[in-house]
A = this chain, B = another copy of it.
Amino acid sequence: MLTQLDGFRSAQEIHAAMRARGDHVGLATVYRNLVLMAETGEVDVLTREDGEQVYFRCSRQHHHHLVCRSCGHAIEITGPAVERWADALAEQHGYTNISHTLEVFGLCPKCSLTVPPHTDGPP
């Protein structure tokens, strides 16, 4: 199921899609499996700007994403320079156990044509 998704989707969206496809599955099961898959690293989780968690099956190596704000379509990206920069900076401040989050959002080429640009200020 998840294998055919090209972007981040919420548990509820995945559940709805499965029902629509005919699967007789409960919402709780979807949540349970997603949580499990997230723990094993089988899927990536990120929190959308509206607070909802979204899931996406992708490679297990450390990477980040370029995510379409409108349709959820995601592309894996890597930024070795950023990783080093973040680690070095945190160490300079005496921080340990360093991790980081980095996501790039935008409107994908397809959605750029159909969705009005958002007017919020920059983040």
Contact = CB atoms under 8 A, between A and B. Distances in A.
A109 B85 contact: no
Contact of A122 (B79, B93, B99, B104): B99
Interface string A89-112: 110011111111111111111001
Q: Report whether over half of chain A's contact residues are helix, strand or loop; otherwise say mixed.
A: mixed
Nearest to A87: B104
15 contacts: A66-B93, A68-B95, A77-B89, A82-B82, A86-B104, A89-B104, A90-B106, A93-B109, A94-B108, A95-B108, A96-B106, A98-B106, A99-B106, A101-B101, A101-B123
Given A90-B106, A104-B98, A122 B82 contact: no
Contacts of A105: 98-101
A64 to B, nearest CB: 9
B97 A104 contact: no
Contact of A51 (B47, B90, B103, B112): B47
